[in-house]
Chain A
Amino acid sequence: MPPPRTPERKLRHRLAELRGPEVQAKALDARALAALAANPGCRRRAILDGAGVNKAALASALGSPSVFGQSQFAFVRGNAFEAKVKADGGTELLRLAHEKLDRSAEPPTAARVPDLTAPGPAGCLERTRLALREAAEAAAADPGTWTLLDHPMLALDVAGSPAFLEPDAVVVHPDGSWTVVEIKSFPMLDGAADPSKVGAAARQAAVYVLALEEVAGRLDPPPRVRHRILLVCPKDFSNLPTASAVDVRKQRAVTARQLARLTRIEEIADALPEGTCFSPELPAEQLTAAVESVPATYAPECLSACELAFHCRDRSRAAGAVTSLGRPVRAELGGLTTVRDVLAAAHGRAGDPDDPVVAALRRAAALRAEALGTAAAAAPAAVREVAPCR
């Protein structure tokens, strides 16, 4: 019996159409989550991620392939480290969780590690929910029970469509509370790790916390999802695991807020012309037109977060947008958004002199020309070429 055609199903159908026939949806991975945080206002990224389009394949089809890739050395090492951390029924991992997060609880001896394998993400999702419920019951029945969920499957509603998420692990404490575990292979050197990498891990974990809270909300009584996550990293220059509790309350709040104000995918999808499709099979002109039909907000930060960034950068540069030089530049220039406008205003060919931005630009241009002129006069070899003074 076909299920009823609810609005939700309709949207899902619409997104499948955008993805193209017979194309599997791509799960929202860590990079997509990072992009979400880096550029929440980008409609292009929102609809492509929401529809589960493989942006890397799309970028290649557009002729601006992304440069993301993982070295097999990093991959092997990351996997080896994760396996080491979880080896032996997660003994080491639970010891770290006990030491860093829950010292008052019973030390873990033999932890439950339920099997979570199931066909398809939806099946895994169900298995995870079940395992979490059972863990709560087990903890209530026998105080002192620890449960480790290895690669559970979670779902989160992102702009109207469910995104599947797979944290490295979730620990259920004896008091029934839950902790997200992130295992990363960058080193913790003398107790400190690279702040930018820790920040990325915290943002990622915050999304898992939100997804877990959704699961917890459906249980009675709802278990507590801890806001301090466990970050496990190699210690110094070794392969031995060490851990640190990271407070993700702030990242959680930011992500929750961004998810809530994400442009509804439905709205974006509705604004698209009929028959739009992002399948990488299509010819490049057709794809370019499809991608162009959704506006993007490119900034250089996209380069490290979004597979489509080089395509958007080419467009942004071709349009002469000043944002391609960085968001601070854009912020400085007020209402002038293109390179041509700014230069025309600076050299007095356009713009209202009473506009403070235009006035400041003209003063800047005059001062720059004067400085370059005096430098050139003082030492002709100093400046490789003299600025055109207009």
Chain B
Amino acid sequence: MSLITTLARLEAVSTGRARPAATVRHRHLSTRPLVFVPLTTAGEAGAPLGALVGTDRDAPRLLVVPQPRDRDLRFAFLAELADVVLPYVDGFAGAVEAAERTETDPETGKRVKVEVELCADAPQLIVPSRAGIDLVRLLGRSMRFRRTAEQDPETPFPAPPRVPLLGRWLTHFGERARVPGSSLLLAMTDVLARHWATGQSTLEDQHLGALLAWIAPPEGRSGAEAAQEAELARDADGQLVCPPAGPATDPAFDNKLLAPAIERYDRARTALAAAEDGLEADARLGALTAAERDVRALVESRTRPTWDAVWRGLDLLRELPQGARVEERWTRDRWSFTGHRDRVLAGEPPQPRRDDAVTAANKLAVREREQARLEAQEALDDPLVMAGRRLAGEAFAGEVVDVVMAYSESKRPSPRPLVTVRTDDRPHLGERTRVYRTLGGKPQTAEFAGYEDGGPDAGGDDGDDGGLLIVLRIMDKMGRGKEPEEGSVPEKGDRVCFTLFEHEPRGGAKLPDPEETPWTHGGPPGEEAAVPETADPVTEEDLL
């Protein structure tokens, strides 16, 4: 956390309201996101208890597992979830635009451009908190190796048809969420905390209700007060007034309300099974339906406040203008979505339990590159983020005070103008350090040529006069002629901002193909890689 954000947090403490930590929105928001508010059963490996899911804030679909330990009910829940999520995802698969991609020609080995499809838009899943992202990944893992009756007639407990496919999609969303700056799957708390600094710690920011209370407190109240109430206030029954955003539930809710309701449901079900004639069965079916309705009402009462909170968060985020480079990152998400769509269509097997060495290395390389890209792009999009980089000495802004024309010493001299910038910032410049500025959307490179007046250490009057005078040699983007093109060199009086980091960071060296995996990393995939992953063995003891 930079000192600027810390300062914003302290301001929030003293004003009782969250302060902006960004001036633009740094994440893409879909016009039609799918919001997913899941709940799980405590103690089980992510066994679902219920969820609210949908794209319409006024009409969420309520899915409930009235007895979380019952496999059939769990499968019914997952099948229903698939019925909501898969049509939504498929809705984006059809509309495509033509795009170009460079690929290595398998015959000639040359890099050639090929025309491919790129989905015009991509689905976006929004969960309340980071734990929700983990649950999406866990659900994906639990479903993608299941076998349906169609795939394997022998399987003892066949999954409903679309469940394995849902598992593959949720796995893809979960994996993509690990790429910095991606927006296919977002946690509302993370996105809100990126844009606002509250007067509490980052740990406490994980509570969606408290976070929203800081950002938009109710009329006439301070954020601190409202946040504390959201966190701790309980009603006369000892239940939290603002239920946790999940997926874990409050133990008091489990013990006092949910457990008795589930028990009633169990009893009604046993009674129905023991009914001796149709008349009796009818009456007991009524009791079972009532018991199930009770559990559903309980689950809805804990998910609905979170559902509304997520949409309120979306409203707040939509008020911020979108950052200029957000769309470019969303295009990468679209590529990712299109890639997975193609893998599913091509009938490829589900994602393996463990990545092989090359895939794992590739994923890490992508995440590193995207992290660097995200940091650069956020700073370029947002003066407040840039201020943090300037404070850290990684960028400087100032006024051009002098421009002197100079030329390179090659056979065909090119323009290498010397530009003097006066700045109050203290960049960490070494000899011939490269610095960059944005010129018409592209980065222009310059080289540090020295300080006009001897640098930050020279003279005793450091800090109270006009600041540093930095001389830069502009290196490129000035056209082919002897004279630089119009507007390509800053003029006297211009305000400029140069960064010490690259605007479009490059990745590392290319990684080998899987067949070329070095022996240090397990060697090329052998025969075992050709065997598709087996399904999870299903036992009586299974919980999910």
Contacts and interface: CB of A to CB of B under 8 A. Distances in A.
A72 B255 contact: yes
Given A326-B202, A379-B321, A360 B3 contact: yes
B524 interface: no
A375 B539 contact: no
B536 A71 contact: no
Contact of B543 (A76, A238, A370): A238
A258 interface: no
B530 to A, nearest CB: 20
Contacts of A332: 1, 3, 6
A361 B8 CA distance: 11
Given A72-B255, A317-B224, A238 B13 contact: no
Interface in A138-179: none
Interface in A330-366: 332-333, 339-340, 342-343, 346, 360-361, 363-365
A72 B254 contact: yes
B372 interface: no
Contact of B383 (A71, A234, A371): A371
A206 B255 CA distance: 32
A72 B200 contact: no
Interface stretch (A46-54, A126-134, A268-276, A382-390): A382-390
Interface in A64-92: 67, 69-78
A159 B138 CA distance: 42
B43 A236 contact: no
B391 A363 contact: yes
A183 B6 CA distance: 41
Interface in A223-237: 234, 236-237
- The listed residue with most A CB atoms (<10 A of its CB), out of B7, B8, B42, B536, is B7
A361 B7 contact: yes
A256 interface: no
B142 A67 contact: no
Contact of A73 (B41, B202, B383, B384): B41
A326 B544 contact: no
Give the bracket for the number of chain A residues in contact with chain B: 35 or more
B131 to A, nearest CB: 11
A368 B4 contact: yes
Interface stretch (B17-25, B81-89, B108-116, B504-512): B17-25
Contact of A342 (B10, B200, B204, B387): B10
B212 interface: no
A221 B3 CA distance: 58
A240 interface: yes
Contacts of A74: 42-43, 251
Contact of B13 (A70, A320, A375): A320
B13 A339 contact: yes
Nearest to B240: A67
Contacts of A301: 203
A146 B300 CA distance: 52
Given A71-B254, A74-B42, A320-B13, A371 B384 contact: yes
A381 B199 contact: no
A55 B256 CA distance: 23
A368 B10 CA distance: 13
B542 interface: yes
B20 A372 contact: yes
B11 A360 contact: no
A375 B254 contact: no
Contacts of B224: 317
B218 to A, nearest CB: 16
Interface string B345-360: 0000000011000000
A77 B199 contact: no
A40 interface: no
Given A72-B254, A73-B42, A343-B10, A325 B536 contact: no
B141 interface: yes
Nearest to A185: B43
A175 B168 CA distance: 48
A289 B43 CA distance: 39
B14 interface: yes
B338 interface: no
B252 A346 contact: no
Contact of A375 (B4, B44, B200, B384): B384
Nearest to A329: B6
Nearest to B256: A72
Nearest to A81: B43
A210 to B, nearest CB: 29
B232 interface: yes
Contact of B6 (A303, A320, A333, A372): A333
A374 B2 CA distance: 20
A306 to B, nearest CB: 13
Contacts of B44: 73, 77
Contact of A382 (B23, B388, B541): B23
Contacts of A361: 3, 7
Interface string B88-123: 000000000000000000000000000000000000
Given A187-B45, A238-B539, A379-B321, A387 B6 contact: no
B255 A71 contact: yes
A237 B391 contact: no
B390 interface: yes
B79 to A, nearest CB: 17
A282 interface: no
Interface in B309-357: 319-321, 353-354
A189 interface: yes
Interface string B514-544: 0000000000000000000000100101111
Given A77-B44, A240-B541, A346-B7, A69 B252 contact: yes
B141 A382 contact: no
B4 to A, nearest CB: 5
Contact of A381 (B319, B386, B388, B542): B319
Interface string B187-208: 0000000000001111110000
Contacts of B386: 371
B73 interface: no
Contacts of B203: 300-301, 303-304, 326
Given A361-B7, A383-B20, A234 B45 contact: yes
Contacts of B250: 69
Given A329-B9, A365-B7, 10 more contacts: A69-B250, A70-B42, A71-B255, A73-B68, A240-B541, A332-B1, A333-B6, A372-B23, A375-B384, A381-B321
**Shortest Cβ-Cβ A-B pairs, 3 listed:** A74-B43, A71-B42, A375-B23
20 contacts: A69-B255, A70-B42, A70-B251, A71-B249, A73-B41, A74-B42, A189-B141, A234-B543, A237-B542, A325-B199, A326-B203, A329-B1, A339-B14, A343-B11, A346-B7, A360-B391, A367-B390, A367-B391, A371-B386, A387-B19
